[in-house]
Amino acid sequence: MAFNRSLISLILAALSLSISAQAPDEPSPGQSLVYDTALSTGPVGGCLTASSNADGAPVIISSCFDGEASVSNTWVATNGTGIGTLQIFGDKCLDVTNGVDADGTPLQISTCVAGDASQQWISAGQIGGTPHIVWAGQNKCVNVPNGNVTAGTVLQITECDATFNDIDQNWGIAIQN
């Protein structure tokens, strides 16, 4: 009888681990994250990357880290899955160029400014079942133009796909801490 209870406990524990391992990562406030496009495969795919540490530097696709995150593609979600900034290099934020909400507007980094609407994002592990990075209040998502994961491709915003099936807007979230 004790053997059966132990076996059942072991099976339930394994099932619990299996289910929790399949749950999506959702960032908590202040966690460091790496975003890789769903269009990429493996550790050499395309990651959301700041091209430099200068104001106005384009946000591009570049090769993802190979086992260790790079400072240029490690972002901090200041408010986890809530509305907040995505910071990089300590004082720079993901920013919509000039706050223009037109589809195709390129993304850049700029010095973080409290309350700047062009720097407010929702970094959600699961929106409609797939990870997205949404410009808060605008129904615009971070997008890989035409699915082009060539290193150096400048990322942009486009209207979020209502079905959340647009793979150009899907991002994997790797929590670093």
Strands 140-143 and 156-159: antiparallel
pLDDT at 149: 86
HEC secondary structure over the chain: CHHHHHHHHHHHHHHHHHHHHHCCCCCCCCEEEEEEECCCCHHHCEEEEECCCCCCCEEEEEECCCCCCCHHHCEEECCCCCEECEEECCCEEEEEHHHCCCCCCEEEEEECCCCCHHHCEEEEEEECCEEEEEECCCCEEEECHHHCCCCCCECEEEECCCCCCCHHHCEEEEECC
pLDDT per residue, tens digit, the chain (177 aa), is: 454 444 334 333 433 333 333 344 577 888 888 888 877 654 456 889 999 999 999 999 988 765 556 889 899 989 888 899 999 999 999 999 999 999 999 999 999 999 999 999 997 655 455 788 999 999 999 999 998 888 899 999 999 987 777 889 988 887 787
Q: Are 134 and 160 in contact (CB under 8 A)?
A: yes
Taken in order 68, 129, 140, 83, the sign of the CA dihedral is negative
Amino acid type, 109: I
The CATH-assigned architecture of domain 26-175 is Trefoil (2.80)
Domain layout of the chain by residue ranges: 26-175
pLDDT at 25: 59
Dihedral, CA of residue 146, residue 149, residue 150 and residue 152, to nearest 10: 90
pLDDT at 103: 98
Please tell me the distance from the alpha carbon of residue 48 to that of residue 172, in angstroms, as a whole number: 10
